[in-house]
Amino acid sequence: MNDALTLNPETRTGSRPQADELRGVRVRQALEKMFVGLVATLTAAAIGFLKFHNLHFMWYSPFYQIYSLIAGTFVLSRIVLSCFYHEPGDEGHLPTLTMIIAVKNEEAHIDETVDWCFRCKYPSDLREVIVIDDGSTDKTWEVLTKLRTVYPCLRLFKFDKNKGKRHAMALGAQQARGEILVYVDSDSFLERDALYKIVQPFADYTIGAVAGHIQVIIEKHNLISKMESIRYYVSHRLVKASESVYGAVTCCSGAFSAYRRDAVMRVLSPWLHQRFLGTQATFGDDRSLTNFI
């Protein structure tokens, strides 16, 4: 298990309860992988069975049937390729990093997000947190200024008027002192070892960006929340995992992703001023930045 506890020499051996807890985590992870593997196998078998109908009815509407076969093959290939994904190993890599959070009207959650960022197990002298208020009209800025009394090293910036998330992200990159930029959404809560894990691939200097694994907080009686959690699981554990086998993830999600700062600075201007059909692009910032990198 790639655990950030190895950062602290005094906890490397671990107490008996810690060892038992880690062993329990490994067992749960193994069972989860077995279950997912079984589901993936059954899904692949179902897709393969259904595609035989396309061959049978090829004479009836060849264009539709060929498209359906291609789409089915693509989905099946994602499932198969994801089985070859391996989580990046522990390289002991500890670069300086800057966490950047762009916010707008998030007074209800931003304090929790910042708290979770500072709770992460990462050397404090190698980490900084920047929050950019993108023209909030609620009490977000008041919440942020109060947070600075708790975290004096918290760096805050504010736009008087809303400029858009890209401008906030760009300002964070320009003001950052770290080698690695870690972008976090204003409603994301990080696991304690998240920062340590996400920077390990950067030990390889050919890596420009890394996508974090994102899960949705499930609300028990909310069907949409449960459906969204499945969508995110498929997006990360299948789609991004299969893409990562080739080292070419198509979208590092804005909710939690890391970029090499010098790579971002080289493409910052064209990304920030990107236009589509003559109109300033104001959405898809994470997919666009990923493609630029």
Tokens of residue 149, six digits: 């009394």
Place of tokens 């279950």: 35
- Closest to 292 measured CA to CA, from 276, 272, 280: 272
What kind and span of H or E run contains 128? strand 127-134
What CA–CA distances, in Å, run from 125 to 91, 118, 129, 189, 216? 19, 12, 11, 21, 31
pLDDT tens for the chain, 293 residues long, are 333 333 333 333 344 555 666 677 677 777 777 777 777 778 777 777 776 766 667 767 778 778 877 887 888 888 888 888 888 889 999 999 999 999 999 998 899 999 999 999 999 999 999 999 999 999 999 999 999 999 999 999 999 999 999 999 999 999 999 999 999 999 899 999 999 999 999 999 999 999 999 888 888 788 888 888 888 888 888 899 999 998 889 999 999 999 999 999 999 999 999 988 888 888 889 999 999 99
Domain 97-292 CATH (choose: 3.90.480.20, 3.10.510.20, 3.90.550.10, 3.60.20.10): 3.90.550.10
Q: What is the Rg, in whole angstroms, of the alpha carbon atoms belonging to the chain?
A: 22
Query: How many angstroms separate the Cα of 261 from the Cα of each of 48, 58, 149?
Result: 44, 51, 28
Q: Please say whether the beta carbons of 69 and 100 come within 8 A.
A: no
Whose structure tokens read 């554990």?
Answer: 237
Burial 56-81 (b: 16+ CB within 10 A, else e): eeeeeeeeebeebeeeeeeebebbeb
pLDDT confidence of residue 21: 65
* 133, β-bridge pairs: 103, 158
pLDDT digits (tens, 9 = 90+) for 209-236: 999 998 888 887 888 888 888 888 888 8
C-alpha 260/C-alpha 97 separation (Å) is 9
Report yes or no: 184 and 101 within 8 Å, Cβ to Cβ.
Answer: yes
User: Helix, strand, or coil here: 1?
Assistant: coil
- For residue 209, which of 243, 164, 163 has the smallest C-alpha distance? 243
Distances (CA, A) of 5 to 76, 115, 197, 214, 261: 37, 19, 11, 21, 26
Sign of CA dihedral 163, 261, 188, 126: negative
